[in-house]
Amino acid sequence: MNAILWEKLSESIEWASEGFDGVMGVSIKDLNTGDALSVNGDEQFLAASSIKIPILIELYKKARAGTLDLSKEITVHDDVKVGGTGVIKELGNVTLTLQDLITLMITVSDNTATNMLIDVAVMDDVNATMKELGLNVTRLRRKMQDYEAIAQGKENYSTPNEFTRLMEALHTSEGLDPWIAEQALAVLKNPKTTTINRLLPYDVEIASKYGNMRNSYCDVALVYHPESPYIISVMTKYIPTDDIRKQRTIDAISEVSKTAYDHFNATP
């Protein structure tokens, strides 16, 4: 029965991807059985703000090694503030701890906090850790809102399958110190509404980070389904310009997420 239900889920995801007005990649893994499926799972997509997950991991890796004090305070001045998502840009000169910046980077996707933390994490070190985890596409190549770097063709990329593997590493601590995984997941679990959970029951816990930029949108989550935890990574690109505020894309990702959740509800 489980094999039949899994096949039906795979078919539903394929239909959703084929019907999407753009390119959609999906990767899902059942963390109880190890069953996995993907549609365009190895396709390269812009990681947008989901790239903040690798930054998060590297920061806790340095903290665990004793080379980074997360209670250190930094004053944020106007000259380092950038646009896009976040709240720091709306504040005056504010003093925050590194842990505060981490919380803002993940919970409200603050780009100013992210750029300050990239300096602390060190871009090359973030990428070295991704390589150590066996991820060959997931790379941090520029800061947030760095239009000069974008013009030079520098972008942050990943794939649905690699994001799923990264979230699984956090879940199992494979290749990571358990403390690092625990701390990272605790931040990723901070309450927020995303495309992954907006159609799910309100009390379902998820650890997630979405990303949104130009003609792409993605969402990566570990869903703590009461029967079986699972990981779902959905990435999109070539979103039509007439998709105002990307509402059709958001709806499409949310429907894929609900389809996955309903599958785990139906699995005996």
- Kindly state the average pLDDT of the residues 203-222: 96
Summarize the confidence of residues 48-54 as an average pLDDT.
98
Q: What is the pLDDT of residues 60-90, one digit of tens each?
A: 999 999 999 999 999 999 999 999 999 999 9
Q: How confident is the model at residue 106 (pLDDT cuts 50, 70, 90)?
A: very high
- CATH 3.40.710.10 matches 2-266: yes
Q: Return mean pLDDT, the chain.
A: 96
Per-residue pLDDT band at 244 (split at 50, 70, 90): confident
Tell me: pLDDT of 219 over 70: yes
Two structure tokens written together for 58: 């590297």
pLDDT of the residue at 268: 62
Average of per-residue pLDDT across 120-129:
98
Q: What's the number of CA atoms in the CB half-sphere (13 Å) around residue 197?
A: 24
Task: Return the pLDDT at 267.
Answer: 65
Contact 44, 137 (CB under 8 A): yes
Per-residue pLDDT, averaged over 3-18, amounts to 96
Angle, alpha carbons 167-250-26 (nearest 5°): 40
Give the position of tokens 């997931």.
Answer: 138
Helix 111-121 and helix 123-132, axial crossing angle in degrees, nearest 10: 80
| 139 DSSP 8-state letter | B
Alpha helices in the chain (DSSP H): 2-19, 52-65, 98-107, 111-121, 123-132, 147-151, 160-172, 178-188, 247-266
Q: Is the pLDDT score of 1 beyond 80?
A: no
Q: Report the 10 Å Cβ neighbour count for 230.
A: 25
Q: Is the pTM of this model over 0.85?
A: yes
Please state, as a whole number, how many other Cβ atoms lie within 10 Å of the Cβ of residue 154: 14
